[in-house]
Amino acid sequence: MENIFTDLAALINGFLAGAPPWLQTLAMGIVYLVGVLAFIFLNAIYLIYLERKISAYMQQRIGPNRLGPHGLLQSVADAVKLLGKEDIIPRGADKWVFIIASVIIFIPAVMVYAIIPFGKGMIPVDLNIGVFYFLAVASMTTIAILMGGWGANNKYALLGSMRAVAQMVSYEIPLTFSLLGVIMLAGSLQTSQIVAAQSNVWYILLQPLAFLIYFIAATAEVNRAPFDLVEGEQELIAGPYIEYTGMRYALFYLSEYANLVSVSALAVTLFLGGWQGPWLPSWLWFLIKVYIMIFIFMWLRWTFPRIRIDHLLSFNWKVLLPLSLANILVTGVGIKIYQLLTLGRW
Amino acid sequence: MLAVAKEDLYTQEIELNMGPQHPSTHGVYRALLTLDGEKVIKVENIIGYLHRGIEKLAEDRTYTQFIPYTARLDYLAGMLNNLGYVQAVEKLMGVAVPERAEYLRIIMAELSRIASHMIMVASMALDLSGWTAWFPPFRERERILDLFEMTCGSRITVSYMRIGGVAADIPDGFLPALEAFLNDLPGMIAEMNGLITGNEIFKARCQGVGKIDLETALAYGLTGPNLRACGLPFDLRKAKPYGIYDRFDFDIPTLSNGDSYDRFVIRLLEMEQSARIIRQAMAALPDGSVMAKVPRVLKPSPGEVYHQIEGAKGILGYYLVSDGSNKPYRLHIHGPSFVNLGALPRIAAGGNIQDFVVAIASIDIVLGEVDR
């Protein structure tokens, strides 16, 4: 069980043994991409189901229970329905911006998975600047949301996308700073090395504050309640997504769930020891931890009301940012003191 | 650095139509907002999408035939609307109502008030995206509607009150079910307090938002819970008791800030007081007939009457003019939602869009009553 996916990759690689090296690289790249896409789609479909079930149990309802056993096929049916919907592009919309935005939003959502270690030896591309790559690519999402909101030529969409920019750009800063503490401890930006460095102790124990900041900032970064101001259903109805229909609308939601999984996966990688764990296969451990993170995200969403935009920003600049800076300072001093005690020198 | 002349820089205001189809306008109401960024500078109420000409319809219906229309005004508190109308007609004709019917009216009216307040707290929580807090009030409200259904067959548009009494006596299982409901009500209120009232985000969103001081509130003619949240203990059930309200012992909860948070909390407090009234009415419920002997064709002698009751949302008044025929010559309805909505531009200006949503939820309007 442990090596089921790595063996599969080796098998495919074996088929290509005689082929030129560039073809091998390309083919393996496509295999990894298909694997990641399958992971995202399956996750998105079943996270929607999970979200509906969890919210239902929190609200004394039953949730979807008609299609398939326990309603397991509900999301599949929804996806099929969305595929069959008419693709409406409003007459007043900026046509190309509007169309491209729904595609662009999905690209960074997939790209960030390149550096996630799904299990032992299961990392699509082991970049030496892994965490940096993740943050850089993830920040592109803002542009897509802004394009969607601007292109729709709708006032609600415009307000929503303006909120998106204000919110996501601000929260990227404490998000990044909170990760710096971990990077200083591990001494590397490479996700595989960060996981390896946690073989003795998980970084959530050494960096509890950083984890908390990361968690809050990540909630804001993926626009989930209580920070779902971008959609703001009760005020902006759906914000930037207001004019989207059918599969374009679905793409936005798909990328939202893909982002949810990726920030959870990053949290697991950086704070919760990645795929490490006893007895069970490493990829299963990774999944279990990711789902625990996702459950906490969902728990928050169905408990808290939505925060106000000015509170959101002042909380970011006045609380999270100073705390994350202080965390870096304390971590730096702590590392030096530790070195002094163990090695007898700075 | 781009050199831009100062006069070339300007901020453009946006006019945003919120409604008539919008999740937070609580019906087909439209607010024309003038926005500076997200800040609401000006609010303009645009109403009339649900206008059905109920007052005019009354002139073509007999006094009894008009009862069902009243429940279509504030359709969240049908019993109270019924009550106000039939009491106005009784006042005009001088009809005495049997004791048992009076007590049943109190029970039903207070249940209706609780149901209406439940909708308010639930939908206000929902307007702040507190999804889960929507469910406890609606779960309990369902039991109130079941009680109504048990008694008169209808749940929302009840038409239960009659001129001279009530339509039907309560069935056998009614009192135990009511008792069980009243026992569970404090649990629901505690659940709401734990889930939403004490929530830091909720407090930050509501406290100080949509604030109106007592003088301004009085100048705008605010009544009901919205006024009591400003600090004035004015309640018609105490100030000018109608029916048999003078026989009950209850308090008028007041809060002093007059902001959205107080308007939310006061509804929870009023539910408790309504429950107190219902318990007393249950204990004192006499036996006997539920309908007075009234003629089949009602022809009040020429004259006019104004009767007002404490509705769920404020003072609900009926002005009836009779010309001696079997139909009202003129009926005017003073709907509290209409008056409360009039104060909204004052309450909501200056906040941002999210504050506007909170403000409109906190004044608790029902468009059926605004537009009539």
Beta carbons of B199 and A226 less than 8 Å apart? no
All residues of chain A having their beta carbon less than 8 Å from the beta carbon of residue B14 are 155
Q: How many CB pairs under 8 A join A and B?
A: 78
CA distance A3 to chain B (A): 42
Spatial contact of B300 and B81, defined as CB atoms under 8 Å apart: no
**CA A200 from centre of chain:** 26
CA distance B86 to chain A (A): 38
Output the pLDDT for position A193.
83
Q: What is the 3-state secondary structure (H, E, C) of chain B?
A: CCCCCHHHCCCCCEEEEECCCCCCCCCCCEEEEEEECCEEEEEEEECCCCCCCHHHHHCCCCCCCCHHHHCCCCCCCHHHHHHHHHHHHHHHHCCCCCHHHHHHHHHHHHHHHHHHHHHHHHHHHHHCCCHHHHHHHHHHHHHHHHHHHHHHCCCCCCCCEECCEECCCCCCCHHHHHHHHHHHHHHHHHHHHHHHHCCHHHHHHHCCCCCCCHHHHHHHCCCCHHHHCCCCCCCHHHHCCCCCHHHCCCCCCCCCCCCHHHHHHHHHHHHHHHHHHHHHHHHHCCCCCCECCCCCCCCCCCEEEEEEEECCCCEEEEEEEECCCCCEEEEEEECHHHHHHHCHHHHHCCCEHHHHHHHHHHHCCCHHHHHC
Peptide bond into B253 cis (omega under 30): no
Given A58, A162, A311, which is nearest B204 (Cβ)?
Answer: A311
Lowest mean pLDDT among A224-228, A287-291, B75-79, B212-216: A224-228
Beta carbons of B354 and A225 less than 8 Å apart? no
Output the pLDDT for position A195.
84
Output the pLDDT for position A1.
64
Output the pLDDT for position B131.
85
Among A230, A234, A237, most B C-beta atoms within 10 A, so best to mutate, is A234
Output the pLDDT for position A111.
87
Among B11, B16, B131, B138, most A C-beta atoms within 10 A, so best to mutate, is B131
Residue B30 β-bridge partners? B46
Output the pLDDT for position A2.
66
Beta carbons of A306 and B354 less than 8 Å apart? yes
User: What does the alpha-carbon distance between residue B48 and residue B276 come to, in Å, rounded to a whole number?
Assistant: 38
User: What does the alpha-carbon distance between residue A144 and residue A108 come to, in Å, rounded to a whole number?
Assistant: 10
Domain ranges of chain B: 52-371
Q: pLDDT in tens for each of the 346 residues of chain A?
A: 667 777 777 777 777 777 777 877 787 788 888 888 888 888 888 888 888 898 898 888 888 888 888 888 888 888 888 888 888 888 888 888 888 888 888 888 888 888 888 877 777 778 888 888 988 898 888 888 888 888 888 888 888 888 888 888 888 889 989 888 888 888 888 888 888 888 888 888 888 888 999 999 989 888 887 888 888 777 778 888 888 888 888 888 888 888 889 999 999 988 888 787 788 787 888 888 899 999 999 888 888 888 888 888 899 999 999 999 999 999 889 888 888 888 776 6
All residues of chain B having their beta carbon less than 8 Å from the beta carbon of residue A304 are 130, 199, 201
Output the pLDDT for position B278.
92
Q: Which CATH superfamily is domain B52-371 in?
A: Cytochrome-c3 Hydrogenase, chain B (1.10.645.10)
Beta carbons of B201 and A309 less than 8 Å apart? no
All residues of chain B having their beta carbon less than 8 Å from the beta carbon of residue A156 are 16
CA distance A36 to chain B (A): 33
Q: Residues B1-24: what's their mean pLDDT?
A: 76
Measured between CA atoms, the residue of chain B closest to residue A56 is B132
Q: Which residues of A touch B (CB under 8 A)?
A: 55, 58-61, 155-156, 159, 162-163, 225-226, 228, 232-237, 302-311
Beta carbons of B201 and A226 less than 8 Å apart? yes
Spatial contact of A262 and A116, defined as CB atoms under 8 Å apart: yes
Beta carbons of A235 and B354 less than 8 Å apart? yes
All residues of chain A having their beta carbon less than 8 Å from the beta carbon of residue B202 are 305
Given B129, B134, B196, which is nearest A233 (Cβ)?
Answer: B129
Output the pLDDT for position A281.
81
Output the pLDDT for position A15.
75
All residues of chain B having their beta carbon less than 8 Å from the beta carbon of residue A302 are 131-132
**CA B66 from centre of chain:** 20
Closest listed residue to residue B292, CA positions, set B12, B98, B88, B84: B98
| Range A200-231 burial, b when 16+ CB lie within 10 A, else e | eebbbebbeebbbbbbbbbbbbbbbbbbbbbb
Given B23, B130, B202, which is nearest A237 (Cβ)?
Answer: B23
CA distance A243 to chain B (A): 14
All residues of chain B having their beta carbon less than 8 Å from the beta carbon of residue A306 are 128-129, 201, 205, 354
Given B134, B201, B355, which is nearest A304 (Cβ)?
Answer: B201
All residues of chain B having their beta carbon less than 8 Å from the beta carbon of residue A311 are 201, 204-205
CA distance A242 to chain B (A): 12
All residues of chain B having their beta carbon less than 8 Å from the beta carbon of residue A234 are 23-24, 126-129, 357
CA distance B225 to chain A (A): 23
Residue B173's Cβ-count burial label (10 Å; 0-12, 13-18, 19+) is exposed
Output the pLDDT for position B209.
87
CA distance B347 to chain A (A): 17
Sorted by sequence, the CB contacts under 8 Å of residue A185 that are 6+ apart come out as: A197, A203, A206, A207, A331, A335
Among A60, A235, A309, most B C-beta atoms within 10 A, so best to mutate, is A235
Q: Residues B138-147: what's their mean pLDDT?
A: 91
Residue B281's Cβ-count burial label (10 Å; 0-12, 13-18, 19+) is buried
- Mean pLDDT of the residues in chain B: 88
Closest listed residue to residue B32, CA positions, set B313, B338, B263, B348: B348
Beta carbons of A235 and B131 less than 8 Å apart? no
User: What does the alpha-carbon distance between residue A269 and residue A248 come to, in Å, rounded to a whole number?
Assistant: 31
Look at residue A129 and give its three-state secondary structure.
coil
Spatial contact of A230 and A149, defined as CB atoms under 8 Å apart: no
Given B14, B135, B202, which is nearest A305 (Cβ)?
Answer: B202
Sorted by sequence, the CB contacts under 8 Å of residue B202 that are 6+ apart come out as: A305, B125, B128, B130, B196, B261
Domain ranges of chain A: 70-343
Output the pLDDT for position A114.
84
CA distance A323 to chain B (A): 20
Give the pTM: 0.85
CA distance A61 to chain B (A): 9
Output the pLDDT for position B3.
63
Sheet containing strand B303-310, strands side by side: B303-310, B315-322, B328-334
Beta carbons of A155 and B14 less than 8 Å apart? yes
Measured between CA atoms, the residue of chain A closest to residue B205 is A308
Residue B17, amino acid: N
Beta carbons of B202 and A155 less than 8 Å apart? no
Say yes or no to pLDDT of B114 above 90.
Answer: yes
Given A61, A234, A311, which is nearest B127 (Cβ)?
Answer: A234
Beta carbons of B357 and A59 less than 8 Å apart? no
User: What does the alpha-carbon distance between residue B273 and residue B79 come to, in Å, rounded to a whole number?
Assistant: 18
User: What does the alpha-carbon distance between residue B88 and residue B333 come to, in Å, rounded to a whole number?
Assistant: 11
User: What does the alpha-carbon distance between residue A272 and residue B185 come to, in Å, rounded to a whole number?
Assistant: 43
Output the pLDDT for position B277.
92
Sorted by sequence, the CB contacts under 8 Å of residue A182 that are 6+ apart come out as: A194, A203, A207, A210, A270, A271
Among B13, B132, B142, B202, most A C-beta atoms within 10 A, so best to mutate, is B132
Beta carbons of A306 and B201 less than 8 Å apart? yes
Output the pLDDT for position A342.
83
